[in-house]
Structure 1
Amino acid sequence: MARHSQTEVAVLGALSTGSMTGYEVRRAITEVLGHFWHESYGQIYPCLAALEQSGAVRRSGRGRTSGTVFQITPAGEDRLRALLAEPHTSPPARNGLLLRLFFGAHLADGEAQHLLQQARDRASTALDEYARIRDESVVEHGRSREQALREVTLSFGEHVARAQLTWAQESLATLAALDAPHAQGAPRARG
């Protein structure tokens, strides 16, 4: 699925929960999907214009913040269902932390460890946030399909954060073991 189509999914998905301004669409995406998806205003407003032109959304007046309110149309609901049914393709990975670590031999002493400590701390914070979200979620007897699917996405975040935490801790231990002989006066190998 092309990046543009995924923006459509995010925008149409947000509007499927109710009419809102472009600002409110961005806020809904940030607050609800922000743990695994983001869109900028520069992506949302052109997308809204294209969706309006195609008939997938329509303007329904002015909002509280003086912005134009958009509403999903039946054609937009059909478009959302079609986009959601398309096969998912992942873009090539781009991980700035791994890029820095791969070339980390050029970093000053301790900088790689500092990067890993930051990654460890971010993963730990994410796990705390996911626990808070899970605690706030009301799991009812016979929960809805929507609740179950949202729980699945929360579970993914938890698994990824735990894996990142474990990886960061193991990586810190690996670097500490390399530094141990250096601390005892032996020359440190670079490379």
Structure 2
Amino acid sequence: ALSVEAMTGYEIHQNIEATIGHFWHESFGQIYPVLKDLERTGLVRADPAATGRGRQFTITPNGIEELKDLLVNVGSSPPPRNTLLLQLFFGRLLGPAWCRERIAEARREAEAQLAIFDAIAAEIASEEGYEQHREYWMSTVEFGRIMARALVDWADVAVTSLPTEE
């Protein structure tokens, strides 16, 4: 977020939710302490005219270099935890009707995500001043679209593979 423009902690949180929120999450409880540490170490600079939570932060050249290093050396993600798959694995205990409803619910959520990704793509396409970021941003949106479409397709198959009787 700060690599693109100056922002307050609140704006950083909103920007994360609106842009990378489909694959990365940060809470306010994480953002403000990190901003304080980044400012203390000279990786971001706060607008001296503002105080409190309304302070706008700008990334410094050292901050850009540190961000690049972090991105190159970021560790791997932990294994995913998928509640639905855990429930289906033990589906015999829950019953086919219950499992079908969970699958249908997951399908509806994935379809809603597809609509959200379409809206994000339209917003990215219409934003002015971010042309140098557009292709990179769109690649993350396309990943989300493909994953959501795959979940819809999987749900169509999975719901028919369950036993028909309780």
Coarse TM-score class (shorter-chain normalised): 0.7 to 0.9
- CA 90–103 in structure 1, closer or farther in 2 if over 3 Å, else same: same
Bigger Rg, structure 1 or 2: 1
Mapping of 1:1-191 within 5 angstroms? 14-61=1-48, 62=50, 67-86=54-73, 88-107=75-94, 110-138=97-125, 144-175=131-162, 178-179=163-164, 182=165
TM-score by length of 1: 0.75
Structure 1 residues without counterparts, runs of 5 or longer:
1-13, 183-187
Taking a change above 3 Å as real, the CA distance of residues 101 and 134 of structure 1, as seen in their structure-2 partners, is same
Specify every segment of 5 or more residues in structure 2 that has no aligned partner in the other structure, as ranges: none
CA RMSD of aligned residues (A): 2.3
Matched residue count: 162
One-letter code of the match for 1:124?
A: E
CA distance in 2: counterparts of 1:73 and 1:172, whole angstroms: 52
AA aligned opposite 1:69: Q
Q: Distance in 2 between matches of 1:69 and 1:16?
A: 13
Identity value in percent? 40
Please state how far the C-alpha of 1:137 moved relative to its aligned partner.
4.0
Taking structure 2 as the reference length, the TM-score comes to: 0.86
Give 1:121's aligned amino acid.
R
Q: Could you say if the C-alpha distance between residues 166 and 80 of structure 1 is closer, same or farther in structure 2, counting changes exceeding 3 Å? A: same
| Equivalent residues of 2:9, 2:56 under 8 A apart | yes
CA distance in 1, matches of 2:132, 2:75: 21
CA contact (8 A) 2:9 2:53 kept: no
